[in-house]
A and B are shown apart, each in its own frame.
Chain A
Amino acid sequence: DTTVKQNPRYKLARVGKPVNLICSQTMNHDTMYWYQKKPNQAPKLLLFYYDKILNREADTFEKFQSSRPNNSFCSLYIGSAGLEYSAMYLCASSRDGGFQDTQYFGPGTRLLVL
């Protein structure tokens, strides 16, 4: 099974409120990624876990948090949502995370902040 699951598929949030998105995979992959995708833009890497080590991109360091309580699950947390957070959030996993590795994506969570 090469499925990556994401919950919820759609999320409506109010400005200033927290948001928590969930991702899971059962492939025993070492690396899990979170991307932000806005219309007509490339998926933007926000952060990734290699095993238990979290790596956050410098330009989004303070905006997003994440946790990975076990190999299968990974969350993306926004402490205080702003209008600019409205986007599709894609989770992906790969076997060991090397740049040659295929990434397996979930269907995404569409977040709308009002």
Chain B
Amino acid sequence: GDSVTQTEGLVTLTKGLPVMLNCTYQTTYSPFLFWYVQHLNEAPKLLLKSSTDNKRTEHQGFYATLHKSSSSFHLQKSSVQLSDSALYFCALGTGGYKVVFGSGTRLLVSP
């Protein structure tokens, strides 16, 4: 079946450094990928999404490129801020009504 893998459970960084959160997926269908972010005590909300191969998608300083050849949709930012500390979910939609989520990566940014 369809699946999403986020290999890092926790990423800790000092502010100002770059970050990449890994997301790989498995599906036999045409994929639609999402990144959702959940700040402490808040609702998860969409950060960015894409279905276009090899095209960079950006929002609020974060960016990701869907690479169908490697089944990846890694999330990146060139310089993290304290406010980026949150839980980040990668998710996969392939058809119908269902979206499959990864287990999430917690990003902790220190001063």
Report A's interface with B, CB cutoff 8 A.
4, 31, 35, 40-43, 45, 48, 50, 55, 90, 97-108
Contact = CB atoms under 8 A, between A and B. Distances in A.
A90 B38 CA distance: 12
Contacts of A43: 89, 101
Q: Is the interface of B mostly helix, strand, loop or mixed?
A: strand
B76 interface: no
- The size class of the interface chain B forms with chain A is 20 to 34
Interface string B17-52: 000000000000000101010100111111001010
Interface in B56-111: 89, 93-104
A55 B9 contact: no
Interface of B: 4, 9, 32, 34, 36, 38, 41-46, 49, 51, 89, 93-104
B48 to A, nearest CB: 10
B46 A102 contact: yes
Given A40-B9, A42-B4, A42-B104, A55 B43 contact: no
Q: Which of B43, B45, B101, B102 has the most A CB atoms < 10 Å from its CB?
A: B43
Closest 4 pairs between A and B when the two form their complex, measured CB to CB? A99-B93, A105-B43, A42-B101, A105-B44
Contacts of A100: 32, 49, 51, 93
A99 B31 CA distance: 9
Contacts of B38: 105
A65 to B, nearest CB: 19
B99 A103 contact: yes
Contacts of B49: 100, 102
B97 A106 contact: no
B102 to A, nearest CB: 6
Nearest to B106: A40
